[in-house]
Amino acid sequence: MKEKSCAITYSGIGGQAVMEGVMMRNKEKYAVAVRRQDGEIELMEGVYKGIVSSETVYKIPFVRGIFSFIDSLVLGLKTLNFSSDIYMEESGKEEEKSEAPKGPKKKSAKDTAVTTVIMIVAVLVAMGLFMILPYFASQLFKNLTDNQHILALLEGVIRLAVFVLYIKAISSMEDIRRVFMYHGAEHKCINCIEGGKPLTVDNVRSSSKEHRRCGTSFLLYVMVISILFFALIESPNHALRVVLRIVLIPVIAGVSYELIRLAGRSDNVFIRALSAPGLWMQRLTTSEPDDTMIEVGIRSVEAVFDWKSYLKENFGEKT
């Protein structure tokens, strides 16, 4: 029987799935573990202090969410890039693997520039798909109603539908299905230690693959809160409405961060109700991992987090 993700204790660690691996972060320390085709686990460890050096910024409610969101994107792209380097090296250059040194090849300036352009284009496409497209789609209903609040609600429903359809579409890809499995491994590892169990393959396997502090839940909060914010925008100028929707993204992210932060640190009827839709949505973005994936998740956790001391301090466990 699987446990429910109640987040009774807060470990402070978080992460994300990458290509054939898992990234975990604990304060300034992060580690990304990637499974190579030969079965070995490649591990990269590092320190990421954030885009701003002031710790005060990260203590201000709502403001801290904006910078934490940007930090997650920056570090996420960096570690995803590391894993994709290994993945491409393993899958595309098998004949050179025996001669090449272990680890991903150093990128040239041209490669870095191309990667940067691809990332920028990806961000622009995401903005267009999830922020701008739903707005114009909702305007098709103006013949039925000119009530801006109703149109904002329709826009939110369309945005949510686009998100679900997008997840469904990419989940048909083999590589993405495996990323979703590693996503499940990431959650299971965190749920295991926050549930008071030693970090072993058997214990991780029996833990829940849904977690309240997941980025999927965060995105759902963003979509719901955007309905409230966008309902307040009243302007006959379509261009101005679109611009304001983009400008408000950091503000909405800041509010959403506070909600997901609260969900990860509290456990009551209100929090359980607030978290339920996000946990349900994670059924689309997480899958049950196999034991080799769980091992990768454990490796990344142990590189940044002393789970034995954590269990002893919070649960009195002797490991």
Domain ranges of the chain: 13-315
Give me the pLDDT at residue 6, please.
42
From first to last of its 319 residues, what are the pLDDT tens digits of the chain? Answer: 344 444 458 999 999 999 999 999 999 999 999 999 889 999 999 999 999 988 899 999 999 999 999 999 899 989 998 998 888 877 665 545 445 455 545 555 555 555 556 656 666 677 677 888 899 999 999 888 888 889 989 999 999 998 898 888 888 899 899 999 999 999 999 999 999 999 999 999 999 999 999 999 999 999 899 988 988 887 788 888 888 888 898 999 999 999 999 998 888 899 899 999 999 999 999 999 999 999 999 999 999 999 999 999 998 865 5
Give me the pLDDT at residue 130, please.
81
Beta partners for residue 155, in sequence order: none
Residue 226, phi then psi, degrees to nearest 5: -60, -30
Q: Which long-range contacts (CB under 8 A, 24 or more apart) does 226-233 make?
A: 226/156, 226/159, 226/252, 227/152, 227/153, 227/155, 227/156, 230/135, 230/152, 230/155, 230/156, 231/148, 231/149, 231/152, 231/153, 233/148, 233/152
Give me the pLDDT at residue 109, please.
52
How far apart are alpha carbons 249 and 66 in whole angstroms?
Answer: 9
How far apart are alpha carbons 243 and 126 in whole angstroms?
Answer: 15
Stretch (H or E) spanning 180 = helix 174-194
DSSP string, 215-281: HHHHHHHHHHHHHHHHTT---S-HHHHHHHHHHTHHHHHHHHHHHHHHHHH--SHHHHHHHHHHHHH
Structure tokens at 240: 């101005």
Give me the pLDDT at residue 148, please.
83
Taking the model in full, what pTM does it have?
Answer: 0.85
Q: Which long-range contacts (CB under 8 A, 24 or more apart) does 98-104 make?
A: 102/42, 103/42
Residue 242, Cβ density class (10 Å: 0-12 exposed, 13-18 middle, ≥19 buried)? middle
Amino acid letter for position 239: A
Give me the pLDDT at residue 232, please.
85
Four-residue CA torsion sign, 165, 2, 278, 307: negative
Q: CB of 18 within 8 A of CB of 82? A: yes
Give me the pLDDT at residue 2, please.
41
Residue 10, phi then psi, degrees to nearest 5: -115, 115
Considering only CA atoms, which of 243, 214, 251 is closest in space to residue 131? Answer: 243
